[in-house]
Amino acid sequence: MPSDSEFWTFASAFRRFLKRKLCLAEDPSDACNSPIIDAHTIPRSQLRKIAEQGHVHSFDSSPAQLAKSDGKIAIKSFGVGQFSVLNCFCRRHDNAIFVDVEDVPLVFSPRQLALLHYRTVASELYRKIRMVEATNYQIEALSKKRKRNRDALQYLDAFNEGQKLGMRDGRLAFAECQRILKEDDYGALSALVIRFRRMPTIMTVGGFYPEFGFDGRPLQTLGDSNEFYETISFNILSSEERAAVAMIWSKGHLNPLAFARSYEQQPSNLYTTLAIQASFEHLENTCVQPAWWDGLRKIEQDLLLRRMQVAGSIFEERRGSSLQYTGVTHDDWEFDSLEYINV
Ligand SMILES: [Zn+2]
């Protein structure tokens, strides 16, 4: 099995493929006629709320960082214009589709929930398309070497099969999101929205296939080609100048629902810490307020980074206890209210 550092070296090759441009909203009847832009998955207006001098902290897994630290990722500063951008929409489609989350306050209306979910599913699909390309490239490069590393090749082949399954399910999920928006069929989605009294100290937008609940119970086991994997989008954003966590999934999908319920059933004074843990566990597209991060003890910073290091590596199996409270409280935005929408 490749090591952590090999994974992150591969991840930086992957990053080159993420520069390739594509508009996921392109349609034969609605061709793109404007350039592909750096589309933000977390709106800049949101990032500014936790930024200091226009910057937030996020993960550094660049080749330079990996080379100097034996493959260890770190935290570094990003300008709000650079963080959380993907080349997966053209300007016209990006403006037209997301007007109802970009230009009006975020209150988690049914349409806003559908748009957040659409964008997450789109960005995950885009990443999977690029991941398959990057893996194919890597396999080809390894096959051409005179001294073939059979183990590595076998591993990459198996890994690529898993990614292709993810891409297959990602395309289905994306098509469903397009349908929901087109037909205003918001009843096809369910959500859990948790509101707090204080502003968030981290923000995240992303999606994943829940494997374990916050109670440690198993949900879906990934890697079976006969299974359809159910996805959840997990967002930490600011709504009405306070922190909010929003989880969104297809109505009727039982794994994301069980995931949301396992969160609800934890003590409410742990909601903040558990949301932070889940973000570092599952979503590289997470950024933090610099002052908050700098105020953490070194041991806490290491604990959180280690999560991203291990969990971000797809070569490592996730542990059942990965989302359970570890005994370390990272922050408390002060729980206010919790609401299930259309479950
Ligand atoms: Zn387009």
Q: What is the pLDDT of residues 181-235, one digit of tens each?
A: 999 999 999 999 999 999 999 999 999 889 999 999 999 887 777 778 899 999 9
User: From the CB of residue 267, how many other CB atoms can be counted at a distance below 10 Å?
Assistant: 9
CA of 334 to the centre of ligand 1 (A): 40
Task: Compute the distance between CA of residue 273 and CA of residue 289 in angstroms, rounded to an integer.
Answer: 15
- DSSP code for 134: H
| 118 C-alpha to ligand 1 centroid (Å) | 15
* Residue 258 clears pLDDT 90, i.e. is over it: yes
Question: Residue 264: which H helix or E strand, with range?
Answer: helix 254-264
Strand 242-250 relative to strand 189-196: parallel, antiparallel, unpaired?
A: antiparallel
Report phi then psi at 256, rounded to 5: -60, -35
- Calculate how far, in angstroms, residue 124's C-alpha sits from the geometric centre of ligand 1: 17
CB 191 within 8 A of CB 246: yes
Q: Is the pLDDT of residue 158 over 70?
A: yes
- CA–CA separation, 150 and 89 (whole Å): 38
Compute, in angstroms, the gap from residue 94 CA to the centroid of ligand 1.
7
Contact 120, 204 (CB under 8 A): no
Q: How far apart are CA 128 and CA 168, in angstroms?
A: 9
Q: Which long-range contacts (CB under 8 A, 24 or more apart) does 334-338 make?
A: 334/196, 334/197, 334/198, 334/272, 335/194, 335/196, 335/197, 335/268, 335/269, 335/271, 335/272, 336/195, 336/196, 336/197, 336/242, 337/194, 337/195, 338/192, 338/193, 338/194, 338/195, 338/264, 338/268
Distance 20 CA to ligand 1 centre (A): 14
Count the Cβ atoms, other than its own, within 10 Å of residue 221. Answer: 10
Q: What is the pLDDT of residues 142-155, one digit of tens each?
A: 888 777 778 888 88
How far does the centroid of ligand 1 lie from the alpha carbon of residue 91, in Å? 7
State the pLDDT at residue 29.
85
CA of 333 to the centre of ligand 1 (A): 38
Q: Where are the domains of the chain?
A: 4-341
Tokens 């937030």 correspond to 56
Give every CB contact of residue 116 below 8 A, 6+ residues apart in sequence.
101, 205, 233, 235, 246, 248
| 31 CA distance to ligand 1 middle (Å) | 7
CA of 40 relative to ligand 1 center, distance in Å: 15
Tokens of 218: 């198993």
| Structure confidence at residue 159 (pLDDT) | 83
Average pLDDT, the chain: 89
Residue 164 CA to ligand 1 center (angstroms) comes to 24
Banded pLDDT at 15 (limits 50, 70, 90): confident
Instruction: Find the 95 Cα to ligand 1 centroid distance in Å.
Output: 10
Residues 142 and 187: their CA atoms lie apart, in Å, by 48
% of the chain exceeding 70 in pLDDT:
94
Distance CA 41, CA 264 (A): 26
25 C-alpha to ligand 1 centroid (Å): 5
